[in-house]
């Protein structure tokens, strides 16, 4: 059975927490992890890049010179893609980069990501993600007591504005809700710090069956 170090609100280790095998100890599906990360990054793209074709560029309605007799190449418009200031040939147009992924596959990918973090010892559980005073120095003090650095993912059960305000000025710290976890954020973090209540919520949602 996978385990995670359990700390109190002051960052002092009080023991180990048993994690559900069917959520934090499943076989890792690397192909689904890759697909989930690619999907997440693709869905972040706005897809609003756009260029104008020759029909959309202002001007160019008059033929610049007559068709024959000048010795120059025939030209119908000064907004031709061949001219400076003209339209763009085959330029980008607004489009959607959204990718679909079946729900079952998303669940397996999420459990694989959690299992990777638990197996590598990068999953830290705290009794409560709550600060005595909602200030950045208190959040830094908690992180230092947990001996974590780099990119940190904090996972809370519900939206805590005090925690978000206290950590938003700390580089590399990201706060997510248990119901809003995604594979990319889990794998991008060096350490995942999660409250005990959030662990219970994740196990409730992702668990295949009730634990015996």
Q: What is the pLDDT of residues 153-207, one digit of tens each?
A: 999 988 888 888 899 889 999 999 999 999 999 999 999 999 999 999 999 999 8
Encoding tokens for residue 79? Answer: 């907004």
181 belongs to a structural domain: yes
Tens digit of pLDDT for each residue in 81-136? 999 999 999 999 999 999 999 999 999 999 999 999 999 989 999 998 888 888 99
**Short-list 178, 193, 186, 197, CA closest to 143:** 193
Do 57 and 87 lie in a common domain? yes
**Short-list 150, 166, 154, CA closest to 126:** 154
pLDDT at 212 over 60: no
Q: Which domain holds residue 67?
A: 46-96
Number of domains in the chain: 2
Stated pTM of the model: 0.82
Adjacency order of strands within the sheet including 191-195:
13-18, 3-7, 123-126, 191-195, 152-156, 173-177
C-alpha distance from residue 25 to each of 2, 68, 188, 207 (Å): 6, 78, 19, 11
Do 59 and 30 lie in a common domain? no
pLDDT at 66 over 60: yes
Determine the 3-state secondary structure of 192 from DSSP.
strand
List phi, psi (to 5°) of 110.
-65, -40
Single residue among 79, 96, 113 that ends a domain in this structure: 96
């Amino acid at each position: 059975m996978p385990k995670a170090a359990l700390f109190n609100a002051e960052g002092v280790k009080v023991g180990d927490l048993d994690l559900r095998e069917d959520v934090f100890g499943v076989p890792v599906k690397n192909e689904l992890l890759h697909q989930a990360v690619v999907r997440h990054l693709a869905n972040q793209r706005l897809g609003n890049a756009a260029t104008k074709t020759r029909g959309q560029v202002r001007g160019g309605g008059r033929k610049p010179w007559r068709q024959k007799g000048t010795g120059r190449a025939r030209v119908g418009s000064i907004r031709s893609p061949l001219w400076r200031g003209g339209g763009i040939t085959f330029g980008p147009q607004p489009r959607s980069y959204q990718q679909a992924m079946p729900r079952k596959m998303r669940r397996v990918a999420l459990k694989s990501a959690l299992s990777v973090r638990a197996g590598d010892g990068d999953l830290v559980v705290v009794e409560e993600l709550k600060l005595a005073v909602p200030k950045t120095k208190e959040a830094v003090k908690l992180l230092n007591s947990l001996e974590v650095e780099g990119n940190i993912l904090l996972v809370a059960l519900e939206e805590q504005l005090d925690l978000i305000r206290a950590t938003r000025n700390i580089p590399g710290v990201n706060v997510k809700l248990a119901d809003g976890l995604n594979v990319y954020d889990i794998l991008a973090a060096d350490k995942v710090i999660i409250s005990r209540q959030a662990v219970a919520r994740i196990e409730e949602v992702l668990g295949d069956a009730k634990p015996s």
